[in-house]
Chains A and B, each alone.
Chain A
Amino acid sequence: AQSVTQLDSQVPVFEEAPVELRCNYSSSVSVYLFWYVQYPNQGLQLLLKYLSGSTLVKGINGFEAEFNKSQTSFHLRKPSVHISDTAEYFCAVSLTRFGAGTRLTVKP
């Protein structure tokens, strides 16, 4: 069985501050991990994915995530956020298990 836990439902930050959105997973099989972003009234878009290889994965819009097998985590980070990063972010393991989402609000 696979499951995903996003540890924060809301994360408010100021513009240009760093941010980390936390995601823990459990899986009894090989994992494929994804982060998606959802802007208001839109569908989800892929930010980045981990399939294998390097544990540090770079995505679009300056985001990156680190796969940590021992901690069963896949946290999303950005060193300096912009107002336009305000959105909901979803962590997923495989194509069928999503976390509950983290709403990132970037304040001026």
Chain B
Amino acid sequence: NAGVTQTPKFQVLKTGQSMTLQCAQDMNHNSMYWYRQDPGMGLRLIYYSASEGTTDKGEVPNGYNVSRLNKREFSLRLESAAPSQTSVYFCASSGYSYNSPLHFGNGTRLTVT
């Protein structure tokens, strides 16, 4: 099983450019999440989708938008990238139960210059 697949693995953007990070899972999970990881700050939740057709803001949603395209796919869009968005982005999924653990992708390393 592929689990959670993120593309691209690396990306460099100039300030003001836009891009979409793609995420797909093949575990039939209902919930999907986007996190960013910054040194010394752990993982912070950007947006999540508890089920197909719903999305909600997490701790740090400003500057981002998301789309739950179907049960498998959950994309994260940066409309106008800023240097403060330089980070490693992780997509994750979990089962229906609120205590089901997270399954993570391998991350996207984004640099905004």
Q: A44 at interface (Cβ–Cβ under 8 A)?
A: yes
Q: How far is the CB of A99 from chain B (nearest CB, A)?
A: 5
Q: A74 at interface (Cβ–Cβ under 8 A)?
A: no
Given contacts A43-B90, A44-B90, A45-B104, contact A95 B98 (CB under 8 A): yes
Residues of B within 8 Å of A42, CB to CB, are: 106-107
Q: B residues 56-113 with Cβ under 8 Å of A?
A: 58-59, 90, 92, 94, 98-107
Number of B residues whose C-beta is below 8 Å from A?
26
Number of A residues whose C-beta is below 8 Å from B?
23
Contact B42–A51 (Cβ < 8 Å): no
CB nearest to B3 among chain A residues: A43
Contact B42–A98 (Cβ < 8 Å): yes
Q: B41 at interface (Cβ–Cβ under 8 A)?
A: yes
Q: How far is the CB of B69 from chain A (nearest CB, A)?
A: 21
A-side residues, CB < 8 A to B, are 4, 6, 9, 32, 34, 36, 41-46, 49, 51, 90, 92, 94-96, 98-101
- 5 A-B pairs whose Cβ atoms sit less than 8 Å apart in the complex: A44-B92, A44-B102, A44-B104, A94-B98, A95-B94
B-side residues, CB < 8 A to A, are 4, 31, 33, 35, 40-45, 48, 58-59, 90, 92, 94, 98-107
